Amino acid sequence: MFPDKQKFIVFSVLCIGFLSYSGYLYSHLPFSKSNFSASEAQGKALWQKHNCTACHQIYGLGGYLGPDLTNEYSLRGSSFIQIFLKTGNTTMPNYHLSETEILQITDYLKSVDQSGKSDPRKFSINANGTINQ
């Protein structure tokens, strides 16, 4: 049986490693500059308020009832998005959003679109099993 001292040492080393990794990630976020304007930030708040992620995905994370919207802005354009937000469809309820709210959510989706590509066809696969965007 391992002595308790060894267990404490292993536990401490792991915890220090975890806290260091966490601290490093907090201080080295992938994007150092804010990409949200006031309108986009408000759009994100509306996205959360109506729980859009229950049905839609961003970067493949979210519900599967609706499509991934990461690059919907560049694929379909703002008018297409705004029509859906205005009327809903068979599955999506009409949230009775104001014109301003519709613009804010569209702005948010524009900023998401500009953050990267989520289409898996665009990824390249390396021989060691890793991927590149």
Partner 1 sequence: MELSISKAKFTPKVFILVALILLTAGMLFGTIGGLQYIVPGFLKEALSFEKTRPLHVSSVLFWILFASMGAVLTYLKEHTGNKLFSNRLSQILFILFVASVIAILIAYCFGVFGGREYWEFPPILSTPIIIGWILFLLNFIFSVGTLKNQPVYIWMWLTGIVFFLFTFSESYLWLFPYFNNHVVNDMNIQWKSYGSMVGSWNMLIYGSSIFLMTKISGDKSYAYSNKAFILYFAGLFNLMFNWGHHIYTLPTQHYVQYISYSVSMTELLILGNIIYGWKASITKAQKYFNRDAYRFLVAADVWIFLNLVLAICMSIPAINVYTHGTHITVAHAMGTTIGINTMLLLAVCYDILKDTCISLDPYQKLMKFGFWLANSSLFAFWIALIGAGILKSKWQMSSDQIAFSLMMQNLTPFFIVFMISGALLLIGIVLAIYPLFKNHLACFLTEKTGPLN
Instruction: List contacts with partner 1 (CB under 8 A).
Output: 1-2, 4, 7-8, 10-11, 14, 17-18, 21-22, 25-26, 28-31, 33-36, 44, 47-55, 57-68, 90-91, 93, 111-112, 115-121, 123, 125-126, 129-131, 133
- List beta partners, residue 62: 57
For residue 53, the minimal CB distance to partner 1 (Å) is: 5
For residue 106, the minimal CB distance to partner 1 (Å) is: 15
Beta strands in 25-76, from DSSP E residues, in sequence order: 57-58, 61-62
Pick 16 or 100: Cβ nearer partner 1: 16
One-letter identity of residue 40: E
d(CA 116, CA 123): 12
Pick 47 or 102: Cβ nearer partner 1: 47
Radius of gyration from C-alpha coordinates of the chain: 21
For residue 100, the minimal CB distance to partner 1 (Å) is: 19
132 three-class SS: strand
Pick 62 or 106: Cβ nearer partner 1: 62
| Of the candidates 98, 17, 117, 122, the residue with the CA atom closest to the CA atom of residue 50 | 98
d(CA 10, CA 18): 12
For residue 68, the minimal CB distance to partner 1 (Å) is: 6
